[in-house]
């Protein structure tokens, strides 16, 4: 079991008759990557395994990235601290999990009533997002690379239909990231549970309802067996970013080629994950409805309006209390305001 990186250096010196001498140093790296998602979980876990495989292929074996299941090295929600201290080399996760450590990072995970994938990536790469993202992570001795994005999620599984704002009040619900802060303002008591812990909590009645991900992923976890009312749209996660966290000392020890190889794999993973996610949802919805009797609901406008109003209250509160959150939010909000000039004329409604 690997907890710290192992660096093996091999010096290859070859005397070249035509030029005299030449020295080439090749460094191979073995990295342990702790995942917050089970490897069997559609997209969320399988993307992590694919990233590990692709890093080995692209680097020609110079970088060996080994995927470890949640709990194999440490509990899923302790991965951030483990990467920060160097107890583990890398972590596969989403920045939204770390809202309790650094609220600003949640804006790089998923934003309630936020951008779709194209707009989100445009801000991140060309609107100043990446620079702020890296600056914040570096304070924790972590270098992180955005390594995946998925399309809109569902917004909840409930035992009974939610017909009014009042029906939310008093529920205990698993919820993620900034969306959980909104639900708290709606009178919901929220818990952040790792994926593998949600079904038992729902089945035992520890929680009344849950959200987790997209239909193809939720189907895999079997929530329909306990709660059959499934709500859309995913107002809290119109798109979700995932990242490969790497201990900063280890990242800095890599040469430029190795860093570029990891960045290239992550760029490809963004392409792969987005395309795969869009391709597999309709079949999952058909299965949920036709084979498992799930009832699909769309939130009525009055509930969506109440949720959005609560989000604006939460934005104001977090911006006032956290300087980094205010900085990132101001950047994203300004970009979105300008992007609307293009979105409103370039895209069909």
What residue ranges define each of the domains in the chain, with the CATH number in brackets?
A: 6-15+25-151+239-279 (3.40.190.170), 156-237+280-346 (3.40.190.10)
pLDDT beyond 80 at 17:
no
pLDDT at 195: 87
Average pLDDT over residues 95-108: 97
Average pLDDT over residues 285-310: 98
Mean pLDDT score of the chain, rounded to an integer?
92
Tens-digit pLDDT profile for residues 193-228: 988 899 999 999 999 999 999 999 999 999 999 999
pLDDT beyond 70 at 15:
no
| Contact partners, residue 233, CB within 8 Å, separation at least 6 | 152, 155, 298, 299
Where is average pLDDT lowest: 1-10, 162-171, 318-327? 1-10
pLDDT beyond 60 at 14:
no
Q: How confident is the model at residue 2 (pLDDT cuts 50, 70, 90)?
A: very low
Where is average pLDDT lowest: 17-26, 51-60, 91-100, 106-115? 17-26
pLDDT at 19: 34
What is the C-alpha separation between 333 and 61, in angstroms, rounded? Answer: 42
pLDDT at 69: 98
pLDDT beyond 50 at 13:
no
- Separation in Å, CA 44 to CA 49, 147, 153: 9, 11, 12
Proportion of the chain above pLDDT 70, given as a percent: 93
Q: Locate tokens 């959005």: which residue?
A: 308
pLDDT beyond 70 at 18:
no
**3-state DSSP assignment of residue 240:** strand
Higher pLDDT, 141 or 27: 141
Both structure tokens of 24: 């080439």
* Residue 343: other Cβ atoms inside 10 A: 14
Q: How confident is the model at residue 349 (pLDDT cuts 50, 70, 90)?
A: confident
pLDDT beyond 60 at 11:
no
pLDDT at 22: 34
Average pLDDT over residues 133-151: 97
Q: What dihedral angle (degrees, nearest 10) is formed by the CA atoms of 201, 207, 212, 215? A: 90
- B/e letters for 1-16, b = 16+ CB within 10 Å, e = fewer, are eeeebeeeeeeeeeee
Average pLDDT over residues 147-157: 96
Q: How confident is the model at residue 259 (pLDDT cuts 50, 70, 90)?
A: very high
* Residue 139: other Cβ atoms inside 10 A: 11
Q: How confident is the model at residue 234 (pLDDT cuts 50, 70, 90)?
A: very high
pLDDT at 230: 98
Q: How confident is the model at residue 27 (pLDDT cuts 50, 70, 90)?
A: confident
pLDDT at 10: 33
């Amino acid at each position: 079991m690997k907890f710290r990186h192992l660096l093996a250096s091999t010096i290859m010196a070859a005397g070249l008759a035509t030029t005299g001498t030449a020295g080439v140093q090749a460094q191979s790296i073995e990295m342990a990557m702790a995942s917050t998602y089970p490897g069997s979980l559609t997209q969320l876990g399988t993307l992590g395994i694919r990233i590990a495989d692709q890093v080995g292929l692209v680097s020609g074996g110079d970088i060996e990235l080994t995927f470890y299941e949640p709990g194999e090295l440490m509990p899923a929600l302790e991965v951030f601290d483990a990467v920060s201290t160097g107890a583990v080399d890398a972590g596969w996760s989403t920045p939204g999990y770390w809202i309790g450590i650094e609220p600003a990072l949640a804006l790089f995970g998923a934003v309630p009533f936020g951008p779709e994938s194209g707009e989100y990536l445009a801000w991140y790469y060309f609107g100043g997002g990446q620079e702020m993202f890296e600056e914040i992570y570096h304070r924790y001795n972590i270098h992180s690379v955005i390594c995946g994005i998925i399309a809109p999620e569902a917004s909840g599984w409930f035992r009974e239909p939610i017909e009014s704002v009042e029906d939310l009040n008093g529920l205990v619900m698993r919820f993620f990231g900034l969306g959980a802060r909104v639900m708290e303002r709606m009178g919901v008591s929220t818990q952040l549970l790792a994926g593998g812990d949600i079904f038992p909590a729902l089945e035992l009645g520890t929680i009344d309802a849950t959200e987790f991900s997209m239909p193809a992923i939720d189907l895999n976890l079997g929530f329909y067996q306990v709660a059959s009312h499934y709500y859309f749209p995913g107002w809290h996660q119109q798109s979700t970013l995932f990242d490969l966290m790497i201990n900063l000392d280890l990242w800095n020890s890599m040469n430029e080629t190795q860093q570029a190889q990891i960045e290239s794999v992550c760029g490809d993973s963004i392409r792969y994950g987005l395309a795969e996610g869009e391709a597999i949802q309709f079949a999952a919805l058909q299965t949920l409805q036709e084979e498992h009797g799930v009832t699909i609901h769309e939130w009525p406008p009055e509930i969506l309006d109440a949720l959005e109003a609560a989000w604006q209250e939460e934005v104001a509160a977090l911006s006032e209390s956290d300087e980094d959150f205010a900085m990132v939010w101001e950047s994203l909000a300004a970009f979105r305001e300008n992007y609307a000039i293009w979105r409103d004329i370039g895209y069909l409604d």
